[in-house]
Structure 1
């Protein structure tokens, strides 16, 4: 496992880390503690030392599982969680210091940790980034010893740029992959200048970049890949990175041609992201241990060739960029 600095935090974290949105069961399935714990233990055994969760993942069960496993291990594992998405309706006015403080304290209780290594605002409305009092609250929580650092999880590059203006923002979690390349421009430049860590989520475009889907693939009614393609539940960009599914399949046919004989392209998609030194870590999810091992194998494969990188980028320029680049 390779390790990279997480911005100004002083943490050195595994470049291939773990996101826990669907740990313990696929999207739409009931949470299974045994599956969750097996994935978490396997990740730590493999050298993963950074785990990302959120208070809304499986209604708090993900946080509980992460805390339980981390507390049982002798290795130091950094725990990052998120808050704010419980606010209903999810609007700017619902972001109050009282509510957010309560969410942090609830996360501490569920994880059983004395301090959260990283708390992240969970894709708040854009207006929240223009409210200094919200960011000031987290500085007080740091002084109280309840959190070590503050980060933000964003939908748009513009939100990331605004959020980084606050000195106590130590990291930005953002969607970045072969199908969502805009962050590699101005955002990466500013993050480098301000020594802000970059946590990459949705690295496989909800599985689209694995190359395993086709026109006959189906998803359960409760799976966001079924119900959120047009943004019915939350931001459309969280599902298949905002790419039209059929267009994404066409794009993947071109990418598959760059890797003859390889049936699982997930490790290759992760390798593409790791080429950027601004990236602190990637947090692909896993609903089974074998998915975790597939993602971690990115560190063992031969590096991408210049021709393969150029071919992947050409697919973005030719098919994907027009529909997504300026939207997020």
Structure 2
């Protein structure tokens, strides 16, 4: 494993880390505490020291599983947790000091720690970024010692840029072979502010594994079945906002032209790490055997100029219009 400085936090985080949305459960399936602990321990054994979670993941089970795993490792790992999506309805007016404080205190309880390493507002409505109250509330919690750092998880480039007005340490943003726009201007701005970048949805909900075709069926409760057009939550999350059939075609062409074989997923993660603005990439895993599939990306050779051009060419051909202009 290789490590990178995580912005102004000065913590060196693993290039390939772990997103815990699926921890101990495939999408829509019951949570397994045993699988969760085994997955976390395997990740740690493979050099992963950054774990991304949220208070809504598995209704808090993700955080509570991490709390058990964390014992004795507090100074060796960095836990980033998101807050805000428990709000129902999820509206800008709900991002008050009172609510933010409550969410942070609940996370402290779930994770069983005295202070949170990093708190991210969890893809709040765009209007929140133009209201300083939630950020001032986070400043206050930082002064009180309840959080060490804070930042935002965003859907749109605009939101990430606006968040740089505040004392944030990190931005979590969708960046992958099917979402190249963040690298145009935003990454440069983040580096200038010494803000760490967490690349989320790195495999476009599995499209960039190259294993799916037009006949692939997902589970009845899987968001890849139920949220393709934003029926349940933001459309940008599922398949990175890419039309499924189009994504299958694009992934097939990438696999062929890059000569990826069955290693497209690892190559997709390595592509993200080609940007020195990215601190870490957070693919998910529901079982320990999936960890090695992710972490091998850190040891893959750098993309050649020709390979970088292939990714851009496929993006321009299949993805750019309309995805590039939406988010």
> Structure 1 length as normaliser, TM-score?
0.97
Q: Which residue of 2 aligns with 1:322?
A: 321
Partners of 2:307 and 2:244 in 1: CA distance: 23
Change (3 A) 1:114 1:299: same
Contact kept? 2:15, 2:298, Cα under 8 Å:
no
Partners of 2:51 and 2:231 in 1: CA distance: 28
Partners of 1:311 and 1:260 in 2: CA distance: 11
Q: Which residue of 1 aligns with 2:117?
A: 117
Q: Could you tell me how far 1:305 is from its partner in structure 2?
A: 2.7
Contact kept? 1:212, 1:264, Cα under 8 Å:
no
Runs of 5+ unmatched residues, structure 1: none
Q: Which residue of 1 aligns with 2:43?
A: 43
Runs of 5+ unmatched residues, structure 2: none
Q: CA RMSD in A?
A: 1.2
Partners of 1:274 and 1:234 in 2: CA distance: 28
Structure 1 segment 95-244 matched on structure 2, within 5 A = 95-166=95-166, 168-244=167-243
Q: Which residue of 2 aligns with 1:10?
A: 10
Name which of structure 1's ranges 65-74 and 268-277 shifts more when overlaid on structure 2: 65-74
Change (3 A) 1:278 1:293: same
Helix, strand or coil: the match of 1:134?
helix
Q: Could you tell me how far 1:74 is from its partner in structure 2?
A: 7.0
Q: Could you tell me how far 1:75 is from its partner in structure 2?
A: 5.8
Helix, strand or coil: the match of 2:278?
coil
Count of residue pairs the alignment pairs up: 327
Contact kept? 1:25, 1:287, Cα under 8 Å:
yes
Q: Which residue of 1 aligns with 2:294?
A: 295
Q: Which residue of 1 aligns with 2:87?
A: 87
Partners of 1:10 and 1:129 in 2: CA distance: 25
Helix, strand or coil: the match of 2:205?
coil
Q: Could you tell me how far 1:72 is from its partner in structure 2?
A: 4.1
1:249 equivalent in alignment to 2:248: yes
Contact kept? 2:175, 2:200, Cα under 8 Å:
yes
Q: Which residue of 2 aligns with 1:277?
A: 276
